């Protein structure tokens, strides 16, 4: 460990202060930093750096836009079982606009968005949840008398970076499935703006936290695959990580799409490591791939044996 | 990060779209758009005369169109799609779809599957209601800027007054205060920026405000535990995937340890409900007694929930029923044949129909409150607007003499100094949510004791096998956290031919009907006081008391010709 990686006195105090206010232990905090390092595929020597970034980085401004969505992605973040996720959301980033949690309403809310975009132009991180309806000029989705398409075009070019949270914002998702009437598209597709995509229905909050931690650490977003998905979370096949692979409990005869899917579900799991689809005997639906609502259905193979 | 396109992933951004409609001409009305701290997208417009709301219009500005997407798919897959109607009440639309298929094919589920489903539904209500009260509704009653001036010792004392089960120190409240000050002091208020702070309708003392803000932060943690229950029994939350037609798939993982884990988190949630949620809701009711006469509606309906056996509605733990004109003691049976959906003031052409024959032709004309102004239809029962949700369930339970509910309601009324008539109000609605959360958390502790571990070795013991007939139709009625939910399914050739959903926020947030009668929220808003038209805090209180959940409220399906729709962007 290099000397600068060690926890200095000032940082020690900050961490003590943080954990005292939370009513949790130092060990919990360092464990969380370890989880973040592991999720990001970083060596253990990064743990103190992560601790420093969380405990002392300035709060980057964040704007969270919600378009044609079900709020499941926001809920995934809110419901994740780590005591430091709410820190990340409430204290480690400055959530300038997020309709689900913000106190302000109506034109007071819109004023928050306008002021964040002008005050932090080129600096704020923009998270987008939900697809963008583009048919008929975008009239299928409106907020404050503007179409979502219009809002996307006004706000996103001002952001330092755009992160699509969930399959709808990334690739269109459910409203873009066959039969949809609204011309819903993923953000990149609808606006031509480059995005980092965190698909999943919903995506795993641990991965989003890791993306924020990575940003606090390096002031940049992680490397991605050709679909814009960060390699740290979408670099391996579900099946190759699955504890049921090669056992009698493998769900491949039941329509499991794990062999095609990339996501770190089997290692990170959901709800604080409680479980994931296959652990509950539900076949993987490959929810992180573009167009999965059409290309991965039917989701079950009832003729198969399990 | 450079804004450079990936050449391997070409895209064609839409160009030269039709311009959106002009903003509605200002007529002095108060428009709240977006209504925040809700699920989905909502616009509310009110006309104010003499300091009170004289007329109100509820608009949903988002249309996703899930039903046409369902057409021609395997009915057994439909639950995955309908589940995505809402990521908040994430279990409900999935299970109702599954039950509509089970009704169509006539399969009975194993007893253990029924139990697991009831626990999943109960966990859903507990989670939703806690989040609604603290994260979505509380800031309508609690002024965070006032909390920053509180005396921590005084807050500790107020805390014990609100519930004798609490014993938090002045140092604890000082810590909370400091945490809140990191927002205010740092200048970046984040999610708390630009609220209606300092509004004269905020009535709590600084110390009470600090206690409530402390519980806002505590609730963030507790709701995580509540979601954990879904993780244990169905793989994850939001959008639990451990669901299947014929029962539940959970097999290998249901060990006695896991059942113990579930009991642990559900007991923790129950303690929070008993010691924090219900006492806090009761305290607010006592401090904001004016709202026992503001925001009421006339008619209530519940489809009933928690089947304790195969027979419906007879075996339902929460009974099915309807109340008209606030006659709590005269609960009527529900005949779903008498439901119709009106579209006179919605952006669809056509006429009122029963959902099983629903036909929808989108016809967007911009917001015109005198004509069409929402993507939500206007459902009516026996021609009447019906409020659905916790208030409906609690008063229908009360009227039918549901023992556990009667006991909790009476205790609440006594502590809050309210009468039963006062329940038909904003306060009653907010309290009913807490009341039923206690009733459900209590009964769930009994149900958990009835769970038995998976026997192991056999194949999916909690799932009935079935053969899929080539064609069929089915109906399922459930209670989402926000109220009555019905799915109507028709399929033939193994593929969905018609799928209709009438969801809680369609009942509550629908526009006027063909007789120009306002929907429940539009009625409830009438006579709400508005002290400052630039800060319509009181309007938000009434609207939020319904717990708007709008993404599911808007859907369309044209069974005759999927392509037959037109859009007129004016």
B567 is a domain residue: no
Whether the CA torsion B112, B113, B118, B120 is positive or negative: it is positive
Q: Starting at the edge strand that comes first in sequence, how are the strands of the sheet with B30-32 ordered?
A: B30-32, B43-49, B52-59
Burial B54-82 (b: 16+ CB within 10 A, else e): eebbbbbbbbbbbbbbbbebbbbbbbbbb
| B28 pLDDT higher than 90 | no
CATH code for the domain defined by A59-231: 3.40.50.700
- How many whole angstroms separate alpha carbon A56 and alpha carbon B548? 38
* pLDDT tens column, B303-314: 999 999 988 899
Q: Which two tokens stand for residue A274?
A: 């409680």
pLDDT at B4 over 90: no
Question: At B459, is the pLDDT very low, low, confident or very high (cuts 50, 70, 90)?
Answer: low
What are the pLDDT digits (tens) for B270-280?
999 999 999 99
Distance between alpha carbon B527 and the CA centroid of its chain, in Å?
24
Q: Compare all CA atoms of chain B with the CA of A224 and give the residue at the minimum distance.
A: B6
Q: Residue B569 carries which DSSP code?
A: -
Residue B523's contacts (CB-CB under 8 Å, 6 or more residues apart) are: B297, B298, B385
Q: Are B118 and B447 in contact (CB under 8 A)?
A: yes
Closest among B361, B366, B357, B337 to B348, alpha carbons compared: B361
DSSP three-state, residue A61: strand
Residue of B nearest to A222 (CA): B1
Contact residues, B window 62-121, toward A, CB-based 8 Å cutoff: 62-66, 68-74, 76-77, 80-81, 84-88, 90
Structure tokens at A28: 């919990």
B255 is a domain residue: yes
Question: What is chain A's Cα-based Rg?
Answer: 20
CA gap B92, B120 in Å, rounded: 9
Rg (C-alpha) for chain B, rounded Å, is: 24
Round to whole Å and give the CA distance between B11 and A304.
38
Please check the confidence at residue A16 and state whether its pLDDT lies above 80.
Answer: no
pLDDT in tens, A24-77: 678 878 888 888 888 888 888 888 888 888 777 677 899 999 999 999 999 998
B contact residues 378-417, partner A, Cβ 8 Å cutoff? none
Residue B556: pLDDT over 50: no
pLDDT, tens only, B352-401: 888 888 766 778 888 888 899 998 999 999 999 999 999 999 999 999 99
Q: Tens digit of pLDDT for each residue in B44-98?
A: 999 999 999 999 999 887 777 788 899 999 999 999 999 999 888 899 999 999 9
pLDDT at B559 over 60: no
- Whether B398 is in a domain gets the answer yes
Q: What does each C-alpha distance from A302 to A96, B80, B121, B470, B548 come to in angstroms?
A: 47, 16, 26, 15, 37
Pairwise CA distance, residues B418 & B420, whole Å? 7
Residue carrying the six token digits 């309290």: B431
- Whether the per-residue pLDDT at A277 is higher than 50: the answer is yes
Q: Specify burial of residue B439 (Cβ count, 10 A radius: 0-12, 13-18, 19+).
A: buried
A contacts of B13 (beta carbons < 8 Å): 189-192
pLDDT at B139 over 60: yes
pLDDT of residue B186: 60
Which two three-digit tokens encode residue A159?
């952001």
CATH code, A236-306: 4.10.480.10
CA–chain centroid gap for B143, Å, is 24
Provide DSSP, A208-273.
HHHHHHHHHHHSSPPPB-TTS-BHHHHSSBHHHH-TTTTSTT--GGGT--TTT-B--HHHH-BTTT
Q: CB distance B33–A143 less than 8 Å? A: yes
Find the length of chain A: 306
Residue B444 in contact with residue B119, Cβ under 8 Å? yes
pLDDT tens-place string over residues B279-330: 999 999 999 999 999 999 999 999 999 999 988 899 999 999 999 999 999 9
Distances (CA, A) of A17 to A32, A81, B217: 16, 21, 17
pLDDT on residue A57 = 67
Contact assessment for residue B355 and residue B503, using Cβ atoms and an 8 Å cutoff:
no
Summarize the confidence of residues B102-109 as an average pLDDT.
Answer: 96
Range of the domain at B479: 43-50+52-192+200-553
Return the pLDDT at B64.
72
Residue B240, pLDDT above cutoff 80: yes
Residue pair A80/A271 in contact (Cβ under 8 Å)? The answer is yes
Which residues of chain A neighbour B567 with C-beta distances below 8 Å?
135-136, 139
Residue tagged 């992933």 (tokens):
B9
CATH 3.40.50.700 residue spans of chain A:
59-231
Compute the distance between CA of residue B311 and CA of residue A123 in angstroms, rounded to an integer. Answer: 59
Residue B364 has phi, psi (to 5 degrees) of: -75, 130
Q: How confident is the model at residue A250 (pLDDT cuts 50, 70, 90)?
A: very high
Q: What is the mean pLDDT of residues A91-105?
A: 85
What local confidence, expressed as pLDDT, does residue A7 receive? 61
pLDDT at residue B558 greater than cutoff 60: no
Instruction: Report the distance separating Cα A273 and Cα A280, nearest Å.
Output: 13
Instruction: Select the residue from A18, A20, A79, A244 to test the B interface by mutation, using most B Cβ atoms within 10 A.
Output: A79
Q: Return the pLDDT at B359.
A: 67
Buried (b) or exposed (e) across B405-429, using 16+ Cβ within 10 A? bbebbeebbeebebebebbbbbbbb
CA atoms within 13 A on the CB side of A232: 24
Strand partners, B247: B244, B463
Cα–Cα–Cα angle for A192, A197, A199, nearest 5°?
A: 130
Cα-flanking dihedrals φ and ψ of residue B398, to 5°? -60, -45
Q: Is the dihedral of CA A24, A29, A35, A36 positive or negative?
A: positive
B311 against B7, higher pLDDT = B311
| Beta-strand relationship, A184-185 and A132-133 | antiparallel
Distance between CA atoms of residues A275 and B231, nearest Å: 6
φ, ψ (nearest 5 deg) of residue B420: -60, -35
DSSP result, B160-202: HHH-TT----HHHHHHHHHHHHHHHHHS--GGGTT--TT-TT-
Token output for B282: 């009761």
More confident of the two residues A107 and A7: A107
Domain count within chain B: 1
Q: Give CA–CA dist A35/A38, Å, rounded.
A: 5
Q: Percent of chain B at pLDDT above 70?
A: 90
pLDDT number for residue B364: 86
Q: How far apart are CA B263 and CA A5, in angstroms?
A: 42
What pLDDT, on the 0 to 100 scale, is given for residue A4? 46
CATH number at residue B248: 1.10.645.10
Give dist(CA B414, CA B158) in Å, integer.
20
Flag whether B28 is in a domain. no
B243: chain A residues, CB-CB within 8 Å? 282
Is residue A191 within 8 A of residue A132, CB to CB? The reply is yes
| Interacting residues of B355 by C-beta distance below 8 A, sequence separation 6+ | B339, B341, B379, B486, B488, B500, B501, B502
Alpha carbon distance A168, A141 (integer Å): 14
pLDDT of residue A88: 65
CA–CA dist B176, B264 (Å, integer): 27
Please compute the mean of the pLDDT values over residues A239-261 and round it to a whole number. 94
pLDDT classification of B481: cutoffs 50, 70, 90: very high
Q: Is the distance from CB of B24 to CB of B368 less than 8 angstroms? A: yes
Within 8 A of B217 by CB-CB distance, chain A residues are 86
Cβ under 8 Å to A: B residues 230-269: 230-244, 249-253
Handedness of CA B109, B113, B115, B119 (dihedral sign): negative
Q: How far is B138 from chain A (nearest CA, A)?
A: 10
The question of ipTM being above 0.85 is answered as yes
Let me know: does B508 contact B520? Beta carbons within 8 Å.
Answer: yes
> Is residue B542 within 8 Å of B294, Cβ to Cβ?
yes
How far is it, in rounded angstroms, from Cα B440 to Cα B122? 6
Short-list A195, A192, A128, A150, CA closest to B13: A192
> What pLDDT score was predicted for residue B352?
87
CA distance B276 to A66: 31
Residue-wise pLDDT for A181-224, tens only, equals 899 999 999 999 999 999 999 999 899 989 988 988 888 899 99
B1-5, B350-354, B364-368, B498-502: which range is least confident on average? B1-5
For chain A, residues classed under CATH 4.10.480.10 are 236-306
B399 within domain boundaries: yes
Mean per-residue pLDDT, B545-562: 58
For the stretch A72-89, pLDDT in tens is 999 998 887 565 666 666
For residue B5, the chain A residue with the least C-alpha distance is A194
Contact B130, B122 (CB under 8 A): no
Helices (H), A103-145: 106-119
CB contact under 8 A, B35 and A105: yes
End-to-end CA distance of chain B: 39
Closest chain A residue to B196, measured at CA: A104
Mean pLDDT value across chain B = 89
The answer to whether position B209 is within a domain reads yes
Pull the structure tokens for residue B301. 């309906």
Question: Is there a contact between A272 and B228 if contact means CB atoms under 8 Å apart?
Answer: yes
Nearest to A103 among B195, B220, B242 (CB): B195
Q: What positions of B carry a catalytic annotation? A: 39, 86, 89, 93, 482, 505, 549, 552
Q: If you average pLDDT over residues B157-183, what whole number do you get?
A: 92
Whether residue B31 is contained in a domain is answered as: no
pLDDT > 90 in chain B, percent: 71
Instruction: Classify each residue of A145-175 as buried b or exposed e, where b means 16 or more C-beta atoms within 10 Å of its C-beta.
Output: bbbbbbbbbebbbbbbbbbbbbbbbbbbbbb
Q: Are A274 and B244 in contact (CB under 8 A)?
A: no
Over residues B404-437, the pLDDT tens digits come to 999 999 999 999 999 999 999 999 999 999 999 9
Tell whether B283 is covered by a domain: yes
**In chain B, residues 114-153 whose CB comes closer than 8 Å to chain A:** 127, 131, 135-136, 139, 144
- A105-114 pLDDT, tens digit per residue, is 999 999 999 9
pLDDT at position B185 is: 60
Count, residues in chain B = 570
Put simply, the answer to whether A201 touches B68 (Cβ < 8 Å) is no
Contact A181 B565 (CB under 8 A): yes
**CA dihedral angle for residue B359, residue B363, residue B368, residue B373, rounded to 10 degrees:** 40
- Residue B235: band (very low, low, confident or very high) from pLDDT cuts 50, 70, 90: very high
- CA angle centred on B415, ends B409 and B417, rounded to 5°: 95
């Amino acid at each position: 460990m290099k000397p600068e990686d060690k926890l200095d006195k000032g940082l020690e105090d900050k961490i003590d202060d943080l954990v005292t206010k939370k009513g949790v232990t130092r060990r919990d905090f360092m464990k969380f930093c370890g989880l973040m390092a592991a999720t990001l595929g970083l060596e253990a020597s990064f743990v103190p750096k992560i601790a420093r970034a969380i405990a002392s980085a300035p709060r980057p401004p964040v704007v969270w836009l919600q378009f044609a969505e079900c709020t499941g992605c926001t809920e995934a973040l809110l419901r994740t079982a780590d005591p430091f996720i709410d820190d990340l959301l409430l204290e480690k980033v400055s959530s300038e606009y997020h309709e689900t949690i913000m106190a302000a309403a109506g034109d007071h809310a819109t004023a928050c968005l306008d002021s964040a975009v002008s005050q932090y132009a080129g600096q704020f991180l923009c998270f987008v949840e939900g697809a963008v309806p583009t048919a008929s000029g975008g009239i299928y989705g409106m907020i404050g008398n503007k179409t979502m398409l219009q809002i996307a075009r006004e706000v996103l070019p001002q952001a330092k970076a755009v992160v699509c949270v969930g399959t709808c914002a990334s690739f269109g998702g459910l409203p873009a499935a066959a039969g949809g009437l609204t011309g819903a598209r993923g953000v990149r597709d609808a606006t031509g703006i480059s995005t980092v995509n965190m698909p999943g229905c919903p995506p795993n909050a641990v991965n989003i936290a890791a993306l924020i931690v990575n940003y606090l650490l390096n002031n940049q977003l992680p490397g991605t695959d050709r679909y814009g998905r960060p390699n740290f979370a979408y670099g391996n096949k579900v099946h190759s990580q699955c504890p049921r692979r090669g056992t009698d409990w493998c769900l491949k005869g039941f329509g499991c799409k794990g062999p095609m899917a990339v996501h770190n579900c089997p290692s990170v799991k959901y709800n604080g490591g409680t479980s994931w689809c296959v652990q509950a005997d539900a076949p993987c639906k490959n929810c992180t791939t573009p167009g999965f609502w059409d290309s991965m259905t039917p989701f079950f193979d009832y003729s198969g044996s399990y | 990060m450079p804004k450079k396109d990936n050449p391997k992933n070409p895209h064609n951004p839409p160009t030269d779209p039709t311009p959106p409609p002009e903003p509605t001409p200002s007529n002095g009305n108060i428009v709240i758009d977006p209504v925040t701290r809700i699920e989905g997208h909502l616009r509310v417009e009110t006309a104010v005369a003499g300091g009170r709301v004289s007329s109100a219009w509820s608009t949903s500005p988002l249309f996703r169109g899930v039903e046409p997407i369902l057409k021609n798919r395997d009915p057994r897959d439909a639950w995955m799609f309908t589940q995505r109607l809402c990521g908040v009440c994430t279990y409900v639309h999935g299970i109702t779809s599954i039950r509509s298929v089970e009704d169509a094919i006539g399969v009975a589920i194993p007893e253990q599957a029924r139990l697991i489903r009831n626990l999943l539904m109960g966990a859903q209500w507990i989670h939703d209601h806690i989040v609604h009260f603290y994260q979505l509704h509380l800031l309508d009653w609690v002024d965070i800027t006032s909390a920053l001036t509180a005396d921590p010792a005084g807050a500790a004392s107020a805390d014990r007054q609100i519930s004798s089960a609490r014993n938090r120190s002045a140092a604890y409240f000082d810590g909370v205060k400091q945490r809140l000050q990191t927002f205010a002091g740092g200048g970046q208020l984040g999610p708390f920026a630009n609220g209606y702070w300092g509004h004269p309708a905020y009535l709590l003392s600084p110390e009470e405000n600090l206690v409530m803000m402390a519980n806002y932060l505590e609730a963030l943690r507790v709701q995580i535990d509540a979601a954990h229950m879904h993780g244990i029994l169905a793989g994850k939350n939001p959008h639990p995937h451990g669901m299947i037609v014929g029962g539940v798939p959970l097999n290998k993982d249901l060990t006695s340890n896991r059942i113990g884990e579930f009991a642990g988190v559900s007991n923790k949630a129950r303690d929070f409900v008993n010691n924090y949620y219900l006492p806090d809701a009761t305290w607010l009711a006592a401090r904001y007694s004016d709202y026992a006469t503001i925001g009421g509606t006339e008619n209530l309906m519940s489809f009933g929930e928690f089947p304790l056996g195969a027979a419906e509605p007879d075996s339902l733990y929460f009974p099915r029923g309807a109340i008209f004109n606030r006659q709590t003691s005269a609960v009527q049976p529900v005949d779903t044949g008498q439901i119709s959906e009106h579209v006179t003031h919605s952006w669809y052409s056509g006429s009122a129909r029963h959902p099983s024959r629903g036909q929808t032709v989108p016809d967007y004309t911009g917001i015109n409150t005198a004509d069409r102004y929402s993507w939500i239809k206007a459902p009516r029962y026996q021609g009447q607007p019906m409020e659905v949700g916790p208030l409906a369930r609690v008063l229908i339970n009360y009227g039918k003499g549901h023992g556990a509910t009667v006991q909790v309601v009476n205790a609440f009324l006594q502590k809050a100094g309210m009468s039963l008539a006062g329940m038909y109000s904003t306060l009653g609605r907010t309290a009913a949510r807490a009341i039923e959360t206690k009733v459900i958390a209590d009964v769930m502790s009994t149900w958990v004791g009835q769970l038995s571990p998976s026997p192991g070795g056999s194949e999916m013991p909690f799932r009935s096998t079935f053969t899929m007939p080539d064609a069929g139709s089915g109906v399922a009625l459930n209670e989402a956290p926000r109220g009555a939910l019905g799915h109507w399914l028709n399929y033939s050739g193994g593929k969905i031919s018609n799928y209709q959903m009438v969801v809680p926020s369609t009942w509550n947030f629908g526009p006027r009907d063909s007789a120009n009668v306002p929907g429940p929220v539009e009625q409830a808003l009438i006579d709400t006081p508005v002290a400052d038209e630039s800060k319509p805090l009181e309007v938000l209180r009434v609207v939020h008391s319904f717990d708007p959940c709008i993404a599911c409220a808007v859907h369309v399906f044209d069974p005759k010709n999927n392509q037959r729709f037109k859009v007129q962007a004016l």
